[in-house]
Amino acid sequence: MQRVLITGAGGGIGRSLRETLRGVYPVLRLSDRVAIAPARDGEEVDQTDIGDMAAVQRMVAGVDGIIHLGGISGENTWENILHGNIIGLYNVFEAGRQAGVKRIVMATSNHAVGFYRRDQTIDHNVMVRPDSRYGVSKAFSEALGSLYSDKHGIGFMGVRIGNFGTHPIDKRRLSIWVSPRDLTQLVRIGLEHPDIRYEIVYGVSDNKRSWYDNSNAYRLGYKPQDDSEPQAAQVLSAEPPGAHPVAEARQGGTFAADEYSADRPRD
């Protein structure tokens, strides 16, 4: 990997990866829809709306690998999801194919499978079970990655990110937290592992309360260094009572409960 592009580089994960990947590859190209901090040594800075194909073609020119964080990062209107996470996503993959990109590491999400119950342990082979329009768009990204891997030979790793941050912020996040250094390790596996063709992994630390069987990540060499458990007592003592029963029962939490109108739950 000579030149690696990070889309959505101005967001929380993008800003963190900008630091943790600094100097790892000869050039990091950092792109966002909005203006971001100016380029330093070994960096190129770009401003692109991924809904604009001609701009995306310029954004990916000369790039070997893409870490795609761009688009909408939570539940939103269908129009915004369509623009950023369906049309924009397609533009990145198709322009990447045209430009000869070898690898795409995709920030998919726990919300692609967020309607699984919290008493279930799920692995990378479960059917998608999105909890929101946003989750559907992440399932779409995994399907698009499969197509571009099978048909065009692009190596794809979809990282179903849990909740990224320096520490877990509530009870649900104790099960899905990922630390900056653990996510950096996973992203590097996605870009650098010699055998990746199509892989789905969970972007979570080694959390004692995890809902995931992340054996596929471990098979690829992932050795997470962090666990939310030492923070559990403090997090639980600050947890407000009275969450929606659907939010409490489902892995996606409020993403599953918002707009919920089923008269009985699906198992």
Integer Cα distance of 264 and 166 in angstroms: 37
E-strand stretches of the chain: 3-7, 27-32, 43-47, 65-68, 103-109, 155-161, 163-164, 177-178, 198-203
Give how many residues touch ligand 15L by CB under 6 A: 8
By the rule CB under 6 A, 163 interacts with ligand 15L = yes
By the rule CB under 6 A, 146 interacts with ligand 15L = no
- Of these residues, 116, 134, 202, 222, which one is catalytic? 134
What is the SS3 assignment for 234?
helix
Q: What is the DSSP letter of 156?
A: E
- Of 110, 179, 184, 185, the one binding ligand 15L (CB under 6 A) is 110
H/E stretch holding 143 reads: helix 133-152
CB of 101 to ligand 15L, least distance (A): 23
Q: Provide the token pair at 42.
A: 């070994």
By the rule CB under 6 A, 73 interacts with ligand 15L = yes
Binding residues among 42-61 for ligand 15L as defined by CB under 6 A: none
CB of 90 to ligand 15L, least distance (A): 19
Please report where in the chains the tokens 């397609």 appear, as a residue.
Answer: 90
Among residues 143, 62, 73, 72, the alpha carbon closest in space to that of 96 is found at 62
Only segment of 2-10, 50-58, 105-113, 232-240 that touches ligand 15L (CB under 6 A): 105-113
By the rule CB under 6 A, 20 interacts with ligand 15L = no
Q: Which is nearer to ligand 15L, 6 or 63 (CB)?
A: 6
CB of 143 to ligand 15L, least distance (A): 17
Is 90 designated active site? no
CB of 161 to ligand 15L, least distance (A): 6
Please report where in the chains the tokens 């509530």 appear, as a residue.
Answer: 170
CB of 38 to ligand 15L, least distance (A): 26
- Of 26, 74, 153, 265, the one binding ligand 15L (CB under 6 A) is 74
CB atoms within 10 A of CB 115: 21
Contacts of 37 (CB under 8 A, 6+ apart): 45
CB of 230 to ligand 15L, least distance (A): 19
- Side chain identity at residue 64, one-letter code: D
Q: Which is nearer to ligand 15L, 150 or 239 (CB)?
A: 239
Only segment of 21-29, 86-94, 106-114, 258-266 that touches ligand 15L (CB under 6 A): 106-114
Q: Which is nearer to ligand 15L, 109 or 185 (CB)?
A: 109
Integer Cα distance of 42 and 27 in angstroms: 5
Among residues 115, 156, 148, 154, the alpha carbon closest in space to that of 134 is found at 115
Residues labelled catalytic: 134
Residues of this chain that interact with ligand 15L (CB under 6 A) are 73-74, 109-111, 161, 163, 173
